[in-house]
A and B are shown apart, each in its own frame.
Chain A
Amino acid sequence: MRIHLAVAGLLAVAPGCYAGVTHQLDEGGTDDSAGLGSGESSGTGGDSDDGDGESGDGPGPSAECEGAPTTVGVTPMRRLTRTEYDNTVRDLLGDTSAPAQAFAPDELVAGFAANSIASLSKGQLDAYFAAAEALAAVAVQTNWETVVGCDPGDRPCLHGFVETFGRRAFRRPLNAAELDGYIELLDDTADTADGIAAAEVVLQAMLLSPSFLYRVEGEDSSGSGLVAVTGYELASRLSYFLWASMPDDELLDLAEAGMLEDDATLDEQARRMLEDPRARDALEAFHLQWLSIGDLQDRVKDPALFPEWDAGLADGMTRETLAFTEAVIRDGDGRLQTLLTAPWSIVDADLAELYGVDAGGTGFSRTDLDPAERSGILTHASVLTATSHAAETSWVHRGLFVREKLLCDELPPPPAGVETNNVNDPGRLEAPECAGCHILLDPLGQGFDAYSPLGVFRLTDESGESVDGQGSMTDIPEIGDFDGPVELGAGLATNERVRDCVATQWFRYATRRHESEADTCGLEALQAQFEASDGDIRELAVSLVTSPSFRFRSHD
């Protein structure tokens, strides 16, 4: 099965980056030969690069999108991610054992766990099987009242359990054939064993059913081309987007009543869901993946240089970023600019020490940082640690962080046959086969050199050399040369390409795929709404929920 993508166009522009062609600023115009690929990805930036970042048509939809028919990209059917599986069984059964942490890793698409391309692997079926048995056993042994709530001898009640529980497990009512099948399974087992065993096997089977494990859409849909997403499908889209978990009864009831397929209701529900504590799970999943800070525990740092590096510190750094982003988005002004420039964070004593300030309180609490040194997530220890090697910073990775995460630039890998090394090497900018791409990375990453491989601000590096801390972004003239990430952050926070890219990243998280040609106009509208709200991420989430990519599906 081949997924049709805008890959070919992207790769076509990439070779310019190889040929040693540095991005010529004074050309202005539409030169995209540096292979940044933003023309495919974000719907802006590829049009003109004359420095003020405007798409050539000013406010309102571009000419090609004005009045154009709605199109959306194809979303392949996906399985629950590990986080989603764990949250779902928590909400379905009250089970917090998190069995999915033992599952095979999730397949990522566009940087977000999707499980939408590869087919199920044999080992994963075994893992699902073991989890289903364990969950069902615990449910009937310790949680019978909440999960089943019947006298084990009361057969009609058990039949009712099949239907009620099934609706929640499948996120839609069971059809007649399914109901018959599960009741037959229940009856057969109850007849040969007892009601408890019967409920247990029903639970096992439902937890193994494709209607539980997959995000199913398009059942019995005879449409081709553009199809409206149905009520129950919308309920799941909403809940997995905003809660990383299953829909609650309110959503299912609205779907059943046919009331969910309405923009006003969707808007209202999205806002309700953002206020709910479960939104925290989705925000965490988004930020762990967008910022690529999900594996700090795995990082190895030189113990002689960084004796303070351990699992506790890695955990603390991760918690800081999740707490901070949550504080901004759920409790604060919700703005992208704040995420990129805030001179405060949510830290504990160890992190306060790392940042060179006094702890704000006990445990994790809001703490003011040095505004000359800190600028939101750009200078979070988590990000700076993730973008470093064991004993030195990485210009390339810090440059890539800004390029990929904040500008949605896709840089191609090094050309085949070229020798590469994984160290900071000024020689790359001298070598013609390297300079074309590395001019976009190394000077940018160097601008973070005043921050150690753990994110500590310093004036001399690990080898005792004094640190320059100057960087440059030659292709964004309003940033140009900058003195460290605080100055960079101020520039990025007001940059249209960054704002558009963050909208794109949320689009990718909501749809779990790369944007395609068919998404161009929908994405453009989303970016316009994000601009109109002055970079309000809560409003962005609500805009997504009422956008065409959420309301419609497309079949190949």
Chain B
Amino acid sequence: MHHSRRALLGSGLAALGALPFLSRGLMKEALAKEGAGPAQRLIVFFTPNEPVHADHWKPAGIQDGDALTSLRPMMESLEPHMQDILMIGEMEMHTRGAEPHGAGHTGIGHMLTGRLVEPYGPGAAEFWASGASVDQHIAQALGVDALTLGVRSGGANGNSRISYTGASQPVHPQTRPDQAFDNLFSDFTLPPSELAELRARRLSVLDRVAGDLQGLSSRLPSEGAQKLDVHLTLVRELEQKFESDTTLECDPGDGPPALDYDSNANVPIATTHQIDVMVQALACGITDVASLQIGNSGAGSLTPLWAEAGIDYNIDCHTIAHDWANGPEQLERRLALESFHFRQFAYLLQSLADYPEGTGSMLDNTLVLWTKNLGFGHNSRRMLHMLCGGACGGLDTGRYIEREGQGHNKLLTSVCNLMGVEQESFGDPQFGQGALDLA
């Protein structure tokens, strides 16, 4: 099946660089055929707490550069996709040692930004990241609108956000897949004349709002003016979205049903539906960058009473994560929880692999970053990272590489480069320069 893209009426390839919400699919498809990368799209996948400990994720006896031929039991759901995984072991977050604010969970603000956080109060969660995250940075460079999704992702605080458009500019994830689907696709269901009239009306409203923003900003002291300037930028982006004359060339189907997606009981079904919406949005070319955040840094508000998803404990995930070394029962619980997390990731990889694209599947043309902000205990050493998918030929998967002690900023730089956004370093350069050697 030929992959679907939104078509821009009457425009040619020359316009590809200029307008937002336009995927670079045509150009990249051509490059992918050459096997040269860059990846067509990026997905970031986050699950809470640590991947237990290296004893439980590192295949027995494996060395740097070895092929991946087996996985630890906790990760067995990924075995069908070993060939699609580049497992990167033993890295660190150098930001952690330098971070004065808070404790173990603050690193979630470093994870995709490569920077120390910006506190606004003494409370452990009273901080925001101090720069753009790699997903939003890449989305901006590509001129697309990143899709930021979450499942029971916590409140508006530093412990609960992974994605940022800038310093103290968190992007709150959409936590309801039915609403996310509507936001992505519902406009396209209107008849063209009605859509045109609606968009004209909306543009006149936004024009008035932009006028208010500019006027007010000029009359306020700098602190307020800065906030309004960010607000104005968002209004301008929304205007551009309404101005672009687009049609949808794929059939997204009906989308997920309305459920109480914010409840603890529905975490597994919410995750499945979020993954479905994400894959659909990417397949339809509405965006090329997406992230999914399950829970938040500690996941204290998630309790895995999810028998239908293969795990059933009446103890919250944060307690399970802390308690694992206290006895065999606790370890078993901990491994069961992390296995559940890996099963969700396996579903994502399988969904991408199942979607035909070009001469292969979406997975061939995608770069997936699997990441956490913790390694073991409350620290960010001996970490596990994974880069998955073909990245249009730019990624050599099916292997394990060990990069002991190297800083995660370098991995973020590599992600940028693999997406065709070339740069020397990402985040604060004092925590790592250059890209990671993935060979």
A56 at the interface (CB under 8 A from B): no
CA distance A76 to B377 in the complex (A): 37
Are B156 and A118 closer than 8 Å at their CB atoms?
A: yes
**Which of these binds chain B: A5-13, A61-69, A153-161?**
A5-13
- For residue A111, which residues in chain B have a CB less than 8 angstroms away from its CB? 123
Query: Number of contacting residues on B, CB 8 A?
Result: 76
Known contacts: A126-B183, A413-B103. The answer to whether A421 contacts B322 by CB under 8 A is yes
Least Cβ distance of B275 to chain A in Å?
Answer: 19
- For residue B156, which residues in chain A have a CB less than 8 angstroms away from its CB? 104-108, 115, 118
CA distance A123 to B316 in the complex (A): 29
CA distance A118 to B231 in the complex (A): 11
**Closest A residue to B136 using CB positions:** A122
Interface 1/0 per residue, A210-250 and B, CB below 8 Å: 11001011111100000000000000000000000000000
Are B238 and A125 closer than 8 Å at their CB atoms?
A: yes
- For residue B231, which residues in chain A have a CB less than 8 angstroms away from its CB? 119-120, 125, 210
- For residue B204, which residues in chain A have a CB less than 8 angstroms away from its CB? 185, 188-189, 201
Known contacts: A118-B170, A119-B231. The answer to whether A109 contacts B126 by CB under 8 A is yes
Least Cβ distance of A288 to chain B in Å?
Answer: 13
B155 at the interface (CB under 8 A from A): yes
- For residue B179, which residues in chain A have a CB less than 8 angstroms away from its CB? 102
CA distance A3 to B128 in the complex (A): 12
B10 at the interface (CB under 8 A from A): no
CA distance A412 to B171 in the complex (A): 27
Which one of A188, A410, A412, A413 has the greatest number of beta carbons of chain B within 10 Å? Answer: A413
- For residue B201, which residues in chain A have a CB less than 8 angstroms away from its CB? 189, 197, 201
**Which of these binds chain B: A176-184, A318-326, A367-375, A468-476?**
A176-184
Are A423 and B234 closer than 8 Å at their CB atoms?
A: no
- For residue A298, which residues in chain B have a CB less than 8 angstroms away from its CB? 264, 301
Least Cβ distance of A425 to chain B in Å?
Answer: 10
- For residue B103, which residues in chain A have a CB less than 8 angstroms away from its CB? 412-416
Are A211 and B212 closer than 8 Å at their CB atoms?
A: yes
- Which single member of B202, B213, B377 contacts A419 (CB below 8 Å)? B377
A458 at the interface (CB under 8 A from B): no
Are B219 and A219 closer than 8 Å at their CB atoms?
A: yes
- Which single member of B120, B123, B226, B238 contacts A129 (CB below 8 Å)? B238
A2 at the interface (CB under 8 A from B): yes
Which one of B154, B155, B224, B322 has the greatest number of beta carbons of chain A within 10 Å? Answer: B224
Interface 1/0 per residue, A123-163 and B, CB below 8 Å: 11110010010000000000000000000000000000000
- Which single member of B121, B174, B224 contacts A109 (CB below 8 Å)? B121
A445 at the interface (CB under 8 A from B): no
Least Cβ distance of A211 to chain B in Å?
Answer: 6
A463 at the interface (CB under 8 A from B): no
Interface 1/0 per residue, B223-258 and A, CB below 8 Å: 110111011001101100000000000000000000
B17 at the interface (CB under 8 A from A): no
Interface 1/0 per residue, B326-343 and A, CB below 8 Å: 100000000000000000
- For residue B235, which residues in chain A have a CB less than 8 angstroms away from its CB? 125
**Closest A residue to B104 using CB positions:** A416
Are B223 and A77 closer than 8 Å at their CB atoms?
A: yes
B80 at the interface (CB under 8 A from A): no
Task: Give residues of chain A (163-200) contacting chain B, Cβ–Cβ below 8 Å.
Answer: 177-178, 181-182, 185, 188-189, 197
CA distance A170 to B179 in the complex (A): 30
**Closest A residue to B213 using CB positions:** A210
Are A120 and B230 closer than 8 Å at their CB atoms?
A: yes
**Closest A residue to B130 using CB positions:** A2
A121 at the interface (CB under 8 A from B): yes
Query: Number of contacting residues on A, CB 8 A?
Result: 79
- Which single member of B123, B155, B169, B174 contacts A119 (CB below 8 Å)? B169
- For residue B378, which residues in chain A have a CB less than 8 angstroms away from its CB? 414, 416-420
- Which single member of A220, A303, A389 contacts B219 (CB below 8 Å)? A220
A204 at the interface (CB under 8 A from B): yes
**Closest B residue to A301 using CB positions:** B314
Least Cβ distance of A404 to chain B in Å?
Answer: 9
B433 at the interface (CB under 8 A from A): no
- Which single member of B122, B216, B315 contacts A216 (CB below 8 Å)? B216
B211 at the interface (CB under 8 A from A): yes
Are B102 and A413 closer than 8 Å at their CB atoms?
A: yes
Which one of B122, B174, B226 has the greatest number of beta carbons of chain A within 10 Å? Answer: B122
Are B316 and A300 closer than 8 Å at their CB atoms?
A: yes
A390 at the interface (CB under 8 A from B): yes
Least Cβ distance of B236 to chain A in Å?
Answer: 11
- Which single member of A10, A104, A208, A300 contacts B172 (CB below 8 Å)? A104
**Closest A residue to B326 using CB positions:** A421
CA distance A84 to B100 in the complex (A): 34
Known contacts: A121-B169, A123-B171. The answer to whether A422 contacts B318 by CB under 8 A is yes
- For residue A107, which residues in chain B have a CB less than 8 angstroms away from its CB? 155-157
B436 at the interface (CB under 8 A from A): no
- For residue B167, which residues in chain A have a CB less than 8 angstroms away from its CB? 1
A518 at the interface (CB under 8 A from B): no
**Closest A residue to B235 using CB positions:** A125
- For residue A19, which residues in chain B have a CB less than 8 angstroms away from its CB? none
Known contacts: A104-B156, A122-B234, A555-B221. The answer to whether A109 contacts B215 by CB under 8 A is no
B208 at the interface (CB under 8 A from A): yes
Which one of B221, B222, B378 has the greatest number of beta carbons of chain A within 10 Å? Answer: B221
- For residue A115, which residues in chain B have a CB less than 8 angstroms away from its CB? 156
Task: Give residues of chain B (146-166) contacting chain A, Cβ–Cβ below 8 Å.
Answer: 148, 154-157, 165-166
CA distance A216 to B216 in the complex (A): 9
- For residue A189, which residues in chain B have a CB less than 8 angstroms away from its CB? 201, 204
- For residue A415, which residues in chain B have a CB less than 8 angstroms away from its CB? 103
- For residue A429, which residues in chain B have a CB less than 8 angstroms away from its CB? none
- For residue B205, which residues in chain A have a CB less than 8 angstroms away from its CB? 132, 185, 201, 204-205, 208
B209 at the interface (CB under 8 A from A): yes
- For residue A313, which residues in chain B have a CB less than 8 angstroms away from its CB? none
Q: List 29 A-B contacts (CB under 8 A).
A: A3-B120, A11-B122, A76-B223, A104-B156, A108-B155, A108-B157, A115-B156, A118-B168, A119-B169, A119-B226, A123-B174, A125-B235, A208-B209, A210-B231, A211-B212, A218-B220, A219-B216, A298-B264, A391-B314, A391-B315, A415-B103, A418-B378, A419-B322, A422-B322, A422-B323, A514-B121, A514-B122, A555-B223, A556-B221
The 4 closest A-B pairs by CB, nearest first: A422-B319, A413-B103, A104-B172, A119-B230
Q: Name B's A-contacting residues (CB within 8 A).
A: 96, 100, 102-104, 118-124, 126, 128, 145, 148, 154-157, 165-174, 179, 183, 201-202, 204-206, 208-209, 211-213, 215-216, 219-224, 226-228, 230-231, 234-235, 237-238, 264, 300-301, 303, 305, 314-316, 318-319, 322-323, 325-326, 377-379
Q: Name A's B-contacting residues (CB within 8 A).
A: 1-3, 5, 7, 10-11, 37, 74, 76-77, 102, 104-111, 115, 117-126, 129, 132, 177-178, 181-182, 185, 188-189, 197, 201, 204-205, 208-211, 214, 216-221, 295, 298, 300, 302-303, 389-391, 410, 412-423, 514, 555-556
Given A119-B169, A419-B322, 9 other A-B residues pairs in contact with their CB atoms under 8 A: A37-B122, A181-B212, A201-B205, A204-B205, A205-B209, A389-B319, A412-B103, A416-B104, A417-B377
